[in-house]
Structures are given as structure tokens and as C-alpha cells.
Structure 1
Amino acid sequence: MIPDYRGEFTGKRVVITGAAGLIGTWTAEAFHAEGADLLLADNRPGPVHDLAERLGGQAVVSDLGTAAGTAELLAALDERWPSADILVNNAGVYPRTPVATTDRETVEQIFAVNVFAPYQLARHVIATMTRTGTPGAIVNLSSGAAKRPTRTGGVYSATKAALEMLTRSLALETGEAGIRVNAVGPGFAPGSEVSELPEEHVAKMRRAIPLGRTSGPGDAPSAILWLCSSAASFVTGTTLDVDGGRTAGDFTPAPSPTTPGGAS
């Protein structure tokens, strides 16, 4: 459940990229419930327009893997507001490909969406916040993969590690202007994948989470809204992992009393 911020976000100008994805949609719904004014960006025209119509926001169709797509989003932002109050860099791509066999073009595409686009958007929003005296907040969506690489996701892990360092660097640069920059590492949410995941894979992932469940609609959005709120006014340059303990370390469930090695 999202806390009641008692009107703190009413009328706040919020930009969310990757808005038509699962976590993007949950986050947009959470801000909408708090009365925010939304600019929702995604490269999927139908889903992002449907979401914007449902929540009363503006949809922008843009491919953040290209310079032109990022420029289109920035132009739409400038046309709508003098400055945003909040930027949520949620858009990301996760092709499963080993580092050693990934061609340069693919690596550049992953970095373009996961690192360079958030950098460009943050840079632009910071400039408008500074010019208009807006004490805003930026939240970048990271991943446990920044700390726990896999054999088929090394490039993705590298982009998320870079995004976390970018978050910290921007926090150092913008604190004096009253702008806070943080990151959230959401937990495993089965519906966030482009393709449907087999139940056995979901069950395996669930067993690896100390709290014993996958991420739901109140988890990452709660952290994002909190980081953007006055309750977190002294928080900047940090990554908040909201993953049920997944990144805390290797986790093996305790054996049950009826299994070999369990209590008798």
C-alpha cells in the first residue's frame, strides 16, 4: 500500500520513462493517486496512450535508444512545463547475452537506453530545475544486477552499475541547488518481462528471495514516492534496494524438518 502523502504531490510535475512497463505503470498509478500531473514516455504507442488516457496525463512516444527519441521527449517536456518537479528514469532494456559474444552495436544500444538516456534527461531536468529554482528530485531505476552479475546479463549489469555511480555523482553536483538524486533497485516482478516466464522459473526466483515473495505494485513505487517526498529531504546519492533481501547475499531456504539434514 502506498502511504498517504496528504497532498504533497498534488500538482507536482512528474516525468516517467518506460511508463507502459509494469513498474512504470505502477509508479504512474501511485503518483496519479497522489494528484500529480504526469508526462508518460514509452516506445510502445498503444500502451502508453492508453495509460495516459486512463490517468489523465500526457503520452509521449519516444525511443530512448536513439538521440532523436530522447530529443523528442525533451522537446515535449519543455513545451509542457518550465521545469519538471520529479524525473523517474525507469526505461531500460535487458537482452540476455554474454559479454564475450555481444557485438559492439548491441552493447552501444543497451548503454544508450540504460545509461546515456537517463544521463541526458537528468542533465536537462537539472538545468531547468536550477534555472527556475525548483528543488526537485530524480530517481533512477537500477537493479540488483548492478551488484550481482549473471552469466547472460553482464552488459546489463555494467549499465546498472554505471547508473548507480551516475546517481551518486549527480547527487554531489546538485545538492547545493536543493536537487536530490537517488536510485531504486526493484525486486523481481514476473510481469515485468517482455515475454511470459515459466512458472518453474518464477518459483525458482521466489525461493531465492529471503522474504519469500516476488515484488508487487506497492513495493518499488512506495520507495520512489518516499524518495521524492519531504520525508526523504536529507536523502541523496543512495540506492534503495527494494527486493526482499535478494541483494543481501546468497540465500538458501532452511531445510524443513522432514527433509534430510532437517531437524528430527
Structure 2
Amino acid sequence: MDYAQEMVGKRVVITGACGIIGGWLAEAFGRAGAKLCLTDARAEPLQALTSAPWFTESSFVLTTDLRDAEAIEAMAAEVGKRWGAADVLVNNAGIYPSGFLLDVDAAEWDRIFDINLRAPFLLSRAFAKLMIAQGVKGNIINISSGAARKMRRTACPYSTSKTALDRLTKGFAIELAEYGIRANALEPGFAAGSDVSQLTQAHVDNVIANIPAGRPTSPQDVGNAALFLASSASAYITGASLPVDGGNSIGSLAVYQDKKHAL
């Protein structure tokens, strides 16, 4: 089945569109022929996306602060005004700060959960209401992480927020099923290059060396998985979390001693 072909003319909202994963998702849906509403808190890079070859005249951008509940409501209202409803909502926006729990203050904890959990709740609620009002059997895709299951030192607030996001996904899946609306989580694997979370080359090399599949996540990996979850090919899948990480979340190739298996 050609998942991309189904996306022609679909109305797709993607948050955090200026991030590395957000950009991959926007391009995947854009090249598949979807109408896009791309949002981000950063106005200048968001506007730059309108020059991309896959950004059509039927698409638009909205600068939105996802920590502001009123801004989220205004964003949903604008989409409702233009489209009536969205067919697909991709809650991609998220932050990945690093720090020991003893050093994380209340304001930083709140910032992480405001963006990684509260915003997806408010967005999903607002867009689900539009879908229901318009009779749209839509899809909500929450961008989660293997960190939801695999704890990482100095990343506990992030991991906790993603674990909660997975539970929120299941909650929406249960409550929206009667309206024909599905909710799933997609867990992209390691992708270096974020301008928000700078990584040293040594760290990047070490992570890649321990991924079972032997390579980082590619744009195609993420795009194909998102198109699949948004398509009728996954019509019987809801409340699921789909890892797209080359096995990174199930374990590591690292060993305590320099040993090789016998063949």
C-alpha cells in the first residue's frame, strides 16, 4: 500500500516544525501532497519553511507559544476557520534539557511538562473537538521517545514527561474511539543535529556505536512511520507506541568487557 498517496489533500497540523524531527515530518507530509499547518514558537525559521519546494499555496504557518493555553486555543480556532478541522494532528514540539534531579528547579520542571505534556493535552483536546464537530475520523500522532521506557541519567524529567505522554495517548485513544479518531505515539530514534540540544561529536559517535541497527534515525524512517500511522493501513491501531529507533530503546550493544560471541 502507498501510504503517501492517501495523504493527498489531507489537512495536517505539525507542531515544533522548525526542529529536526518536525522538519522531517513536514517534508514527508508535504511531499505526499498534504495541506500543512506548521507551527513553532520561532517566527523567523518558521517563515523560512514557506520557501521549501514541498510547501504549497494551500499550506500556512502559525507562530504559537505552546506554553500559552490561549495561544493554543487561538491556533485551533484559526485552523477551524480555514479548514473546518484537521485530518491529522502531529504533536511533535518538545524539549530535551539535561540536568540532575537535584539541580532541576520547579520552574524548569514546569517548563518541560508544559511543552512536552500539557501542550499535547490541550492541542489534542482542541483539535479532537473540531474533528468531532465536522465528523472527521482523524488521527493524533504524539511524538514520544524510547526514553519513555529506558531511563537516562540526567534526563529524568524528559523521560518522565514522555512516559506520561504515552499514557495520555492511550487515554485519548480510549475516549475518542467512538468517534473514529485514533491516537498513537511514534518514538523516533537518535537523530543528532538539534539546535536546541547541542551534542559533542564524541557523544554522537558513542550513541551510534551502541544502536543495534548500527546507524542513527533517518528522515525516511520517521516520515514513513508517520505516514503509516496516518493512513488506513493502520486503521486498527490505536493507543500504540511505535518505536522507530533501530532497537535503541530495547537495549545497547555496549559490553562490560571486550568480548565477542563465538561462531
What is the aligned partner in structure 2 of residue 14 from structure 1?
Answer: 12
In structure 2, give the amino acid aligned to 1:194: V
1:211 is displaced (CA, Å) by: 0.4
What is the aligned partner in structure 1 of residue 189 from structure 2?
Answer: 187
Q: Which moved more, 1:4-13 or 1:198-207?
A: 4-13
What is the aligned partner in structure 2 of residue 47 from structure 1?
Answer: 45
Distance between the aligned counterparts of 2:135 and 2:168, measured in 1? Answer: 22
User: Cα distance 1:63–1:83, how it changes in 2: closer, same or farther (>3 A)?
Assistant: same
SS for the counterpart of 1:170 is helix
1:52 is displaced (CA, Å) by: 2.7
**Could you tell me which of 148, 154, 157 is aligned with 2:156?**
154
RMSD (Å), alpha carbons: 2.0
User: Cα distance 1:254–1:31, how it changes in 2: closer, same or farther (>3 A)?
Assistant: farther
SS for the counterpart of 2:140 is strand
Deviation readout 1:59-81 (Å, 9 max, x if unpaired) = 11111122243233223222221
1:15–1:86 Cα contact (<8 Å) kept: yes
SS for the counterpart of 2:119 is helix
In structure 2, give the amino acid aligned to 1:204: N
Gaps of 5+ in 2: none
What is the aligned partner in structure 2 of residue 232 from structure 1?
Answer: 234
In structure 2, give the amino acid aligned to 1:37: K
1:98–1:155 Cα contact (<8 Å) kept: no
Distance between the aligned counterparts of 1:20 and 1:75, measured in 2? Answer: 22
Distance between the aligned counterparts of 1:224 and 1:80, measured in 2? Answer: 24
Distance between the aligned counterparts of 1:260 and 1:52, measured in 2? Answer: 51
What is the aligned partner in structure 1 of residue 28 from structure 2?
Answer: 30
TM-score by length of 1: 0.92
1:23–1:221 Cα contact (<8 Å) kept: no
Gaps of 5+ in 1: none
What is the aligned partner in structure 2 of residue 84 from structure 1?
Answer: 86
The answer on 1:65 being equivalent to 2:67 is yes
SS for the counterpart of 1:64 is coil
What is the aligned partner in structure 2 of residue 170 from structure 1?
Answer: 172
Q: Which moved more, 1:93-102 or 1:202-211?
A: 93-102
SS for the counterpart of 2:51 is helix
SS for the counterpart of 1:28 is helix
